[in-house]
Amino acid sequence: MSAYTPKRLKIYIYGAPVLRKKTAPVEKVTEAIRRLTQDMTLTMYDDDGIGLSANQVGESHAIFILGASAFEDDRGDSVFLNPEILEMSEETELQEEGCLSIPGIRENVPRSLTIRLRWQDLDLKIHEEIFTGFPARVIQHEYDHLNGIFFTDRISSVRKMFIKSKLSELASSQS
């Protein structure tokens, strides 16, 4: 079997219907799923991202990846299949976020400081871990994508009014 060379995928932009649909669970890890995660990793790094969900590249699977820089330890790039946030702290933190699917817009978003996450890896082995701070924020952002939610859905109504025309422009460029 020859080695797979990952390819860059198209990142879908705000307004694309696939981004608002809840993704489907991964029941079986096929070669296509493995290749998708490699393609997603390449695509994320090519666009200077820190995380990427499958629906952002047009695939409605419950998968997201995080680059090594999303973590505060020495783990590398990570693949999360069928993630589920089990607990979220009441303590929140406001921090600026951006998104590869919403280019040119950055806003302060409140997120839980600590979360407990359960997910599967590419061998469908179940993991459970508590994440705090920046990793928790990035996971919540990507997890939202899998449920059809953008970071702009979580900002104040006043801020939403300020960016409404920019979002409309992005959405109309997708039709």
Q: Which of 91, 93, 142, 169 is catalytic?
A: 142
Instruction: Kindly list the distances between the CA atom of residue 63 and the CA atoms of 24, 33, 155, in Å, as whole numbers in the listed order.
Output: 9, 9, 24
Whether 142 and 51 have beta carbons less than 8 Å apart is answered as yes
The CA distance from 117 to 68, in Å, is: 17
Strands 107-112 and 92-97: antiparallel
The CA distance from 114 to 47, in Å, is: 27
Active site residue 97: no
Name the percent of the chain in helix, strand, coil, to the closest 5: 35, 25, 40
Cite the active site residues.
142
